[in-house]
C-alpha cells in the first residue's frame, strides 16, 4: 500500500473485509500486506488515517496481488493524532505501542522553533523528560540508556545535539515514529525499557519536491524526487545551525577569535525497485556537533567534534503472496573527539562505538488467523572508551585504554494469533547472546587475552507475550509480559545525554541487565472512535542495574568496569490516556503515576532509593485547534513532580572551608515542574496555496507564564576575607524563561 | 551556542533547603609529613559537623574544635600522646609561622590542634603510622604510610602566551616520575603568604607513569578572591614564590580527589560525590594522610 502523491509506502495501513467484520490485517514497515480468505466475492476496504478510503471488489478464485494507492483525504479534519487505524487502540494485540504522525508533531509548540519528535514523545503517558529542554527520555522507570533508538534499523547511540537540547532527528526526513514502551515484540532486543523506531521517508517517486525552513537557530532543506519514475527515487535532507557564525565578526580581533559552535546533519535515502518482488533501499545519516574554542591570550585552543553516522542497506523481497523478507546490512558509529593544545602541551581524547550488523526478518501469513515473524540479527561491536594521549615537549603520554570488541546476536519467532473474534495472542521467544572478545588485560595471575579470544559469553531466552480480549467492538482488555536483556550499558553521572557519555560492554565484572515487565490494560474508544482511552498498569523487575560508586570521580586511566556498582531495581505505575482524534480540536490528556527505585549494596547503605528520574506525578495536556483554513493553534501544558535530589544534611570544615554531609540518596524533591506553551501556524492563503510554491509561518511561545522551574540546586559558600565569616547558601537554577520563536517554512513542488 | 543559550536564559535565585537535625560527625584532619628539613611536626585537627544553615563566623568555628580528646600517634616502634593547644596561646611570630605552614592566612579563628610538640616520633618514608583518637568515649582510628618522595628536576619561570601581558609569568616544572603508582599534590605561596593548594591540587600518574616531562603549574588563589580569567593561575613578575611539592599516600589522594571534585562540580550535569574518608569509627570522617614534600623557592625575574 502506498501514498498516491509520493509513492511512499504506508506503514500500518488497514485492510478490512466488508463482508466479514473483525477480519483484517495491517501493512508492515514496508507497506506490504497479506490476507488469506476462502474463495468467493469480497469487498476489501483499504484505509489509513488522513487518506481517503478505497473499496475494491474482488472475486477470489486464485491468489491475487493487489497494489493499492491511497490519496489524501478531502476532508482534512481526518488529520488526527496518530497515524494508525481507527480502532487500533482497541484491536491491536500488543500493549504500550504509540505511533506518532509528523503532521501532528508539526503543529505543537516547540522550544527554539525546532520540531523534535523526541520532545513530543515526552508528552505521552509513561514517558518522562530527562530535564528541562532535553531530548533524552525515560520510559516506565528505566534509564535513558535502556531505550533502543533506531533510525532505519541503525542504532543511534547518542540522540542529542547541543548537549541534548535538540535531538539528532530532522523531522523533515522522518516518515514514521513508533514508540514501544510495553510488551516489546521479540523482533526487538538489546534494551530493556523501550524501542523508539524511526523510519526515514523514502523519497517521492512521482514528482520533485523541495521543502525547508528558516528558524532562529537553524535552517533546513529537503530535496526529494524520482530518478527513474516509479522505479527509483531519492531524498536528501540537511540542516545546520548558524547562531555563532553570525557572532563571528564580534569576536574578530579579540581573545576568543576563532571560537565557534555549530551542528549539522544530513539524511539521505535512495530506493530502487528492480522487480515486482524486489526493492532495495539505501539510507544514511551523518551528523556532527563542532565546538572550536580559542583563547589567544592564554595560548589555549581545543576542537571538539562529535556525532553519529549510520548507513543501512535493505533488500525487500516477497515470496509468493504470503511471505515477505527483509535483509539489512547496517553500519553505525558514534564518535567523540577532543583535541586541545596549550602552548607546547597537546592533548587528545577519543571515545566511541562502532557496529556492523546483519539481520533478516521474515513475515509469513499462512492463513487469516496467524501472522508469523521470525529472523536473526548479528552485530560486531567495537567500543572505544576514553583513549587519551598527550605530549609536552619531548614526552608523550598514552592512557592504557584499548578498544573492546564484542559479538551480539539473536534469533526470534513470534506469532500474532487470532484465536477467535474476541481473543488475540501475540506470543514469541527471542534467544540472545553476547560474546565479549579480546584483547582483554585479564585478571591477576592470568595472561592477557589476545584479539579474538573469548573473554566471557552470556546468553538468555527472552519470552514475550501479549493477550487481547475484546469485550465488545469498542472495548478490550490486554495483558502483557516481556523479558528483555541488555548487553551494552551507558552509565552517566548526568541527567541527560552528554557527548562524553561512554557505552561499555558486558564484561566479566558487568553482567547483562535483565528486565521483566508485567502489564495490564483496559482500552476503550467512544463516539465512533473519535475518542480513545486507556488505563494501563505495569510492574517491572530489573536486575544487574549499574551506577557509579558514590565516591566516583572521572579519570581517563580508569577501567570503567571497575567503577560500577551492580544492583537491582523495580518500577511500577499506572497510566491514563484520553485522546481526541477527530474534529477541529484534537489532542490528549496523559497522566502517569509511577515509582522507580533502585537498590545497591554499596549505595545508600544498601537501602532502596528513588531513581533520579522517579517523578511520581506526570501530567500532559496537549491540544491543537484548527481555527480556520489559515490558522492552526496548538498548546501544551505539562505538570510533573519535582526532580529528586540528595539533600545536604550537614557541613564540616576541611582546612577551614565547608564540605557537605549528604543524606539519603534522592530523598528530597525540587518544587514541582509546570509549563504552558502556545503555537500558531499561519498557513498560506488559498489562492497562493494552490501554486507550486507554498510557504507558511510557525510562531511559538515556550513557557508562556515564565515559570522558573528549578533544574538543579547548588550550595554556595562565600568567605568574607575581612571578617573570616563564611556564608552558606543554596541557589536554584532555572533554565528557560518565556522564549518566543518564529520559523518560516516553504514547500516547492 | 549551548553555553551562550544557557548563559543568556538561565537564572538563579536563593533556595531554602529542607532543615535537618544536627549530625554528630567527628571530623579528623591529621597529617604526618616527611621533608628534608624535617620542620613540620605531625598534627591533628578535630572538629564537629554543623547544620547547613549555621552562621559560620570565627567564634562559631572556634567552638567547633574539639580540645579535650586523647590523640595518639604510633609508628617506628614509638607511641606519642599529642599535645593540645590553640593558636591564641602562641606568641604572634610562631603563630604566623604555624599559619603559613598550615595554609591559613589570617587568624580570625582560634584554631586548636594536637601536635607532636617534642618531635618524639621519627617520620620516615615507607614507615606506617597509626592514629588513635578518643573523644567522649567514642573511638576513632586510622593508618597511613609515608610515600616515597619524588623531587622535581627543575623549576623555572617563563613569559605567558600573551606578549602584552609582560608583567605576568608562568611557572614550569620538570618531573621524572618513577615507575609505579605515585600521587602528587602541590601548594604555592607568594611573597611570604600561606601555602595554599589550587582548586585542583592532586593528580595520580596513571597517564605519565615512569616518564620525564615539563608541565606548567597554577598559582593557587586565596579563597574568596575574585577570579580573573585573564590572569588566573599566573604569577606576577618580581614576586617570591614557594612551591610545596608532595607525594601522598593513596587514601589521602582519594580524599582530596573526591573533595575537590565534589567542590568543583556542583552543577546540572553531575550528581553528588561522597568524599572518600579513611577514618574508622562511627560517624568519624576526614583524613589521616602521610606525605613526603619538598619546598622550592623561586624569585620570578622582571625580565624573561
Instruction: Give A277-329 pLDDT, tens digit per residue.
Output: 899 999 999 999 999 998 888 888 999 999 999 999 999 999 988 899 999 99
Asked whether residue A76 carries a pLDDT value surpassing 90, the answer given is no
What's the average model confidence in pLDDT over A598-607? 94
**CA A117/CA A110 separation, integer angstroms:** 10
Chain B contact for A647 (CB, 8 A cutoff) = yes
pLDDT value of position B245:
98
Q: What is the DSSP string of A32-58?
A: -------SEEEEEEEE-TTB--EEEEE
Nearest to B298 by CA among B121, B169, B131, B185: B169
Return the DSSP state at A207.
Answer: S
Say if B26 is an interface residue toward chain A (CB within 8 Å).
Answer: no
β B83-86/B26-34 pair status: unpaired
Taking an 8 Å cut-off on Cβ atoms, the answer to whether B161 and A297 are in contact is yes
Rounded distance between C-alpha atoms, residue B146 and residue A54, angstroms: 86
By C-alpha distance, the chain A residue nearest B112 is A656
Q: Contact at 8 Å (CB) between A397 and B207?
A: yes
Cβ-Cβ contacts under 8 Å, A395 against chain B: 208, 211-214
Q: Are A534 and A478 in contact (CB under 8 A)?
A: no
Cβ B207–A297 below 8 Å, yes or no?
no
On whether any CB of chain B is under 8 Å from the CB of A722, the answer is no
A343 contacts A299 by C-beta, under 8 angstroms:
yes
pLDDT at B44 over 70: yes
Does the structure show a pLDDT above 90 at B298?
yes
Neighboring chain A residues of B22 at a CB cutoff of 8 Å: 650
Q: To 5 degrees, how large is the angle CA B141–CA B145–CA B147?
A: 150
Inside any domain, residue B260: no
A to B CB pairs, distance under 8 Å? 228
Q: What residues 272-301 of chain B have any CB closer than 8 A to a CB of chain A?
A: 272-276, 285-286
Question: Which residues have CB under 8 Å from B191's CB, separation 6+?
Answer: B239, B240
Residue holding cell 567534534?
A305
8 Å CB contact of A399 and B13: no
- A228 vs B99: which has the higher pLDDT: A228
Q: Is residue B226 a part of any domain in this protein?
A: no
- The residue of chain A nearest to residue B210, with distances taken between CA atoms, is A397
Q: Is B120 on the interface with A (CB under 8 A)?
A: no
**Contact at CB, A652 and B224, closer than 8 angstroms:** no
Answer whether residue B3 shows pLDDT above 50: no
Closest CA to A655 of B147, B113, B274: B113
Distance CA A290, CA A265 (A): 11
Question: Would an 8 Å CB–CB cutoff place B50 in contact with chain A?
Answer: yes
Give the model's pLDDT for residue B266. Answer: 67
Q: Where are the beta strands (DSSP E) in A369-439?
A: 370-392, 395-398, 404-418, 423-437
pLDDT at A623: 93
Per residue in A6-22, pLDDT (tens digit) is 888 888 788 888 887 77
For residues A115-142, average pLDDT: 87
Which residues 528-557 of chain A have a CB within 8 Å of chain B? 550-553, 555-557
Task: Please choose, from the candidates B165, B142, B179, B298, the residue with its C-alpha nearest in 3D space to the C-alpha of residue B234.
Answer: B165
Q: Say if the Cβ atoms of A551 and B258 lie within 8 Å.
A: yes
Owning domain of residue B48: 20-146+275-289
> How far apart are the CA of A691 and the nearest CA of chain B, in angstroms?
38
Chain B, residues 57-116, CB within 8 A of chain A, namely 57-58, 61, 64, 103-104, 106, 108-109, 111
Mean pLDDT across B222-248: 90
R_g over Cα of chain B: 21
Name the β-bridge partners of A476.
A470, A523
Closest residue to B15, CB basis, from A241, A649, A732? A732
Is residue A65 predicted with pLDDT exceeding 90?
A: no
Quick check: A664 pLDDT over 60?
Answer: yes
Of B23, B208, B259, the CB nearest to A661: B23
A78 has pLDDT over 60: no
Question: B121 to chain A nearest CA, in Å?
Answer: 24
Cell 564540616 belongs to which residue? A652
Name every chain A residue with its beta carbon within 8 A of the beta carbon of B254: 551
Please report whether residue B97 resides in a domain.
Answer: yes
Out of A13-22, A259-268, B256-265, the most confident range is A259-268
Chain A contact probe: residue of B47, B52, B59, B197 with most A CBs at under 10 A: B52
- Architecture category of domain A97-748 in CATH: Beta Barrel (2.40)
The chain-wide mean pLDDT, for chain B, equals: 89
Give the C-alpha separation, A311 to A332, whole Å.
6
Q: Identify the residue among A726, A739, A740 best suited for mutation to test binding to B, counting B beta carbons within 10 A and taking the highest.
A: A726
Q: Is-contact B71 B81, C-beta < 8 A? A: yes
Instruction: Report which of residues A83 and A507 the model is more confident about.
Output: A507
pLDDT band at A268 (very low <50, low <70, confident <90, very high): very high
Tell me which chain B residue has its CA closest to the CA of residue A720.
B224
**With an 8 Å Cβ cutoff, are A730 and B257 in contact?**
no
Q: Residue A730: which of B3, B17, B111 has the nearest Cβ?
A: B17
Q: Is CATH 2.40.160.20 the classification given to domain A2-78? A: no
Q: Give the pLDDT mean for A386-404.
A: 81
pLDDT score of A719: 85
Cβ of residue A45 closer than 8 Å to a chain B Cβ: no
Sole residue written with cell 589550587: B198
Q: Is A81's pLDDT higher than 70?
A: no
pLDDT in tens, A513-551: 999 999 999 999 998 888 999 999 999 999 999 988 888
Distance from CA of A135 to the nearest CA of B (A): 14
- Report yes or no on B127 lying in a domain: yes
pLDDT tens digits, residue range B142-192? 999 999 999 999 999 999 988 889 999 999 999 999 999 999 999 999 998
Which residue in A296, A647, A725 is closest to B18 by CB distance?
Answer: A647
Domain residue ranges of chain A, discontinuous segments joined by +: 2-78, 97-748
Number of domains in chain B: 1
pLDDT digits (tens, 9 = 90+) for A457-490: 999 999 999 999 999 888 999 999 999 999 999 8
Residue B2 CB contacts under 8 Å (≥ 6 apart), including other chains:
A162, A163, A165, A261
| Band (B17; pLDDT cuts 50, 70, 90) | confident
A244–chain B Cβ distance below 8 A for any pair: yes
Confidence of residue B269 (pLDDT cuts 50, 70, 90): low
Chain A residues within 8 A of B16 when measuring between CB atoms: 730
- For residue A73, pLDDT over 90 is answered with no
pLDDT of residue A219: 92
Q: What is the pLDDT of residues B68-93, one digit of tens each?
A: 999 999 998 999 999 998 888 887 77
* Same fold? A2-78, A97-748: no
Report the chain A residue with the minimal C-alpha distance to residue B6. A735
Weakest mean pLDDT among A16-20, A631-635, A715-719? A16-20
Which residues of chain A lie closer than 8 angstroms to B51, CB-CB? Answer: 650-651
Q: How confident is the model at residue A77 (pLDDT cuts 50, 70, 90)?
A: very low
Let me know if A390 is exposed, middle or buried by CB neighbors in 10 A (0-12, 13-18, 19+): buried
As a whole number, the mean pLDDT across chain A is: 88
SS (H, E, C) chain B: CHHHHHHHHCEEEECCCCCCCCCCCEEEEEEEEECCCCCCCCEEEEEECECCCCCECHHHHHHHECCCCEEEEEECCEEEECEEEEHHHCCHHHHHHHHHHHCCCCCCCCCEEEECCCCCCCCCCCCEEEEEEEECCEEEEEEEECCCCCCEEEEEEEECCCCCCCCEEEEEEEEECCCCCCEEEEEEEECCCCCECCCCCEEECCCCCCCEEEEEECCCCCCCCCCCCCCCCCEECCCEEEEEEEEECHHHHHHHHHHHHHHHCCCCCCCCCCCCCCCECCCEEEEEEEEEEEEEEEECCCCC
The pLDDT-based confidence of A720 (bands split at 50, 70, 90) is confident
Cβ pair A728:B16 closer than 8 A: no
pLDDT of residue A691: 67
Torsion, CA B174, CA B176, CA B182, CA B187, rounded to 10: -20
Whether the pLDDT of residue A688 is over 60: the answer is no
HSE value, Cβ hemisphere, 13 Å, CA-based, for B251: 19
ipTM score of complex: 0.94
B271–A493: do the CB atoms touch at under 8 Å? yes
Amino acid at each position: 500500500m502506498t501514498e498516491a502523491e509520493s509513492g511512499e509506502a504506508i506503514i500500518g495501513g488497514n485492510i478490512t473485509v466488508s463482508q466479514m467484520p473483525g477480519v483484517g490485517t495491517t501493512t508492515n514497515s514496508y507497506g506490504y500486506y497479506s490476507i488469506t480468505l476462502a474463495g468467493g466475492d469480497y469487498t476489501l476496504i483499504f484505509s489509513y488515517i488522513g487518506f481517503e478510503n478505497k473499496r475494491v471488489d474482488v472475486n477470489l478464485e486464485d491468489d491475487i496481488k493487489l497494489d493499492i494507492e491511497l490519496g489524501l483525504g478531502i476532508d482534512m479534519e481526518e488529520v488526527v493524532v496518530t497515524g494508525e487505524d481507527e480502532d487500533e487502540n482497541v484491536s491491536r494485540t500488543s500493549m504500550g505501542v504509540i505511533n506518532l504522525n509528523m503532521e501532528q508533531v508539526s503543529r505543537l509548540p516547540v522550544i527554539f522553533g525546532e520540531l523534535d519528535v523526541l520532545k513530543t514523545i515526552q508528552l505521552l503517558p509513561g514517558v518522562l523528560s530527562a530535564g528541562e529542554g532535553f531530548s533524552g527520555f525515560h520510559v516506565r522507570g528505566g534509564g535513558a540508556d535502556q531505550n533502543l533508538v533506531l533510525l532505519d534499523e541503525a542504532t543511534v547511540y547518542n540522540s542529542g545535539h547541543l548537549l541534548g537540547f535538540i535531538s539528532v532527528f530532522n523531522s523533515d526526513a522522518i516518515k514514521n515514529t513508533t514508540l514501544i514502551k510495553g510488551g516489546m515484540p521479540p523482533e526487538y532486543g538489546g534494551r530493556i525499557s523501550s524501542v523508539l523506531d524511526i523510519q526515514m521517508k523514502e523519497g517521492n517517486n512521482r514528482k520533485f519536491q523541495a521543502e525547508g525552513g528558516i528558524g532562529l537557530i537553524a535552517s533546513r532543506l529537503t530535496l526529494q524526487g524520482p530518478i527513474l519514475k516509479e522505479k527509483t527515487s531519492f531524498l536528501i535532507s540537511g540542516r545546520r545551525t548558524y547562531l555563532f557564525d553570525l557572532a563571528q565578526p564580534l569576536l574578530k580581533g579579540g581573545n576568543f577569535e576563532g571560537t565557534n559552535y555549530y551542528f549539522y546533519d544530513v539524511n539521505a535515502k535512495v530506493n530502487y525497485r528492480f522487480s515486482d518482488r524486489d526493492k532495495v533501499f539505501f539510507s544514511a545519516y551523518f551528523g556532527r556537533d563542532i565546538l572550536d574554542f580559542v583563547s589567544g591570550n592564554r595560548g589555549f585552543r581545543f576542537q571538539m567534534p562529535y556525532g553519529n553516522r549510520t548507513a543501512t542497506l535493505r533488500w525487500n523481497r516477497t515470496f509468493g503472496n504470503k511471505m515477505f523478507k527483509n535483509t539489512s546490512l547496517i553500519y553505525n558509529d558514534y564518535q567523540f573527539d577532543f583535541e586541545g593544545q596549550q602552548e607546547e602541551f597537546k592533548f587528545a581524547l577519543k571515545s566511541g562505538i562502532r557496529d556492523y550488523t546483519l539481520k533478516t526478518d521474515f513475515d509469513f501469513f499462512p492463513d487469516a488467523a496467524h501472522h508469523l515473524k521470525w529472523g536473526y540479527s548479528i552485530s560486531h561491536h567495537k567500543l572505544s572508551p576514553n583513549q587519551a594521549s598527550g605530549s609536552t615537549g619531548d614526552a608523550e603520554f598514552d592512557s592504557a585504554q584499548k578498544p573492546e570488541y564484542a559479538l551480539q546476536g539473536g534469533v526470534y519467532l513470534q506469532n500474532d494469533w487470532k484465536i477467535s473474534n474476541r481473543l488475540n495472542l501475540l506470543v514469541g521467544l527471542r534467544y540472545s547472546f553476547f560474546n565479549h572478545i579480546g584483547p582483554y588485560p585479564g585478571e591477576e595471575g592470568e595472561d592477557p587475552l589476545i584479539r579474538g579470544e573469548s573473554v566471557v559469553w552470556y546468553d538468555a531466552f527472552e519470552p514475550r507475550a501479549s493477550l487481547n480480549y475484546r469485550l465488545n467492538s469498542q472495548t478490550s482488555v490486554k495483558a502483557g509480559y516481556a523479558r528483555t536483556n541488555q548487553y551494552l550499558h551507558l552509565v552517566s553521572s548526568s541527567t541527560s545525554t552528554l557527548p562524553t557519555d561512554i557505552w561499555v560492554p558486558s564484561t566479566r565484572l558487568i553482567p547483562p541487565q535483565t528486565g521483566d515487565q508485567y502489564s495490564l490494560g483496559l482500552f476503550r474508544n467512544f463516539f465512533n472512535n473519535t475518542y480513545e482511552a486507556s488505563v494501563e498498569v505495569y510492574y517491572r523487575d530489573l536486575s544487574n542495574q549499574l551506577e557509579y560508586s558514590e565516591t566516583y570521580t572521572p579519570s581517563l586511566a580508569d577501567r570503567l568496569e571497575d567503577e560500577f556498582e551492580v544492583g537491582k531495581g523495580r518500577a511500577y505505575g499506572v497510566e491514563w490516556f484520553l485522546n481526541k482524534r477527530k474534529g477541529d480540536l484534537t489532542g490528549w490528556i496523559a497522566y502517569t503515576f509511577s515509582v522507580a527505585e533502585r537498590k545497591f549494596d554499596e549505595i545508600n547503605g544498601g537501602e532502596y532509593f528513588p531513581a533520579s528520574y522517579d517523578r511520581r506525578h506526570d501530567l500532559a495536556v496537549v491540544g491543537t485547534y484548527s481555527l480556520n483554513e489559515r490558522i492552526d493553534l496548538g498548546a501544551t501544558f505539562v505538570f510533573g513532580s519535582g526532580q529528586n535530589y540528595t539533600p545536604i544534611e550537614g557541613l564540616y570544615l576541611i582546612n577551614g572551608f565547608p564540605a557537605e554531609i549528604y543524606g539519603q540518596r534522592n530523598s528530597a524533591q525540587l518544587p514541582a515542574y509546570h509549563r504552558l506553551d502556545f503555537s500558531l501556524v499561519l498557513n498560506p492563503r488559498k489562492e497562493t496555496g494552490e501554486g507550486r510554491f507554498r510557504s507558511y509561518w510557525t510562531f511559538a511561545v515556550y513557557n508562556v507564564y515564565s515559570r522558573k522551574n528549578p533544574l538543579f540546586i547548588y550550595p554556595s559558600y562565600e568567605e568574607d576575607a575581612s571578617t573570616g565569616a563564611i556564608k552558606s547558601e543554596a541557589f536554584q537554577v532555572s533554565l528557560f524563561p518565556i522564549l518566543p520563536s518564529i520559523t518560516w517554512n516553504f514547500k516547492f513542488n | 551556542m549551548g553555553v551562550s543559550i544557557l548563559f543568556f536564559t538561565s537564572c538563579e535565585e536563593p533556595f531554602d533547603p529542607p532543615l535537618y537535625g544536627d549530625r554528630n560527625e567527628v571530623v579528623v584532619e591529621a597529617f604526618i609529613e616527611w621533608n628534608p628539613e624535617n620542620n613540620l611536626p605531625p598534627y591533628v585537627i578535630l572538629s564537629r559537623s554543623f547544620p547547613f544553615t549555621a552562621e559560620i563566623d570565627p567564634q562559631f568555628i572556634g567552638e567547633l574544635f574539639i580540645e579535650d580528646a586523647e590523640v595518639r600517634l604510633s609508628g617506628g616502634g614509638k607511641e606519642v600522646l599529642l599535645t593540645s593547644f590553640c593558636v591564641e596561646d602562641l606568641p604572634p611570630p610562631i603563630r604566623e609561622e604555624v599559619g603559613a605552614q598550615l595554609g591559613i592566612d589570617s587568624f580570625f579563628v582560634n584554631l586548636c590542634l594536637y601536635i607532636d610538640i617534642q618531635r618524639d616520633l621519627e617520620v620516615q618514608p615507607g614507615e606506617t603510622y597509626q592514629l588513635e583518637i578518643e573523644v567522649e568515649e567514642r573511638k576513632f582510628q586510622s593508618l597511613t604510610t609515608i610515600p616515597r618522595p619524588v623531587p622535581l628536576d627543575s623549576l623555572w619561570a617563563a613569559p605567558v602566551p600573551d606578549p602584552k601581558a609582560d608583567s605576568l609569568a608562568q611557572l614550569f616544572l620538570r618531573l621524572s616520575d618513577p615507575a609505579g603508582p605515585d600521587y602528587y599534590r602541590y601548594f604555592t605561596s607568594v611573597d611570604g603568604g600561606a601555602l595554599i593548594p589550587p582548586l585542583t591540587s592532586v593528580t595520580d600518574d596513571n597517564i605519565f607513569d615512569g616518564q620525564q616531562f615539563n608541565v606548567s603549574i597554577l598559582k593557587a588563589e586565596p579563597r574568596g578572591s575574585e577570579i580573573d580569567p585573564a590572569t588566573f593561575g599566573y604569577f606576577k613578575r618580581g614576586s617570591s614564590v614557594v612551591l610545596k611539592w608532595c607525594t601522598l599516600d593513596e587514601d589521602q589522594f582519594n580524599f582530596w580527589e573526591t573533595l575537590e571534585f565534589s567542590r568543583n562540580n556542583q552543577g546540572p550535569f553531575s550528581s553528588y560525590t561522597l568524599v572518600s574518608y579513611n577514618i574508622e569509627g562511627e560517624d568519624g570522617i576526614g583524613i589521616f594522610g602521610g606525605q613526603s614534600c619538598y619546598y622550592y623557592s623561586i624569585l620570578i625575574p622582571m625580565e624573561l
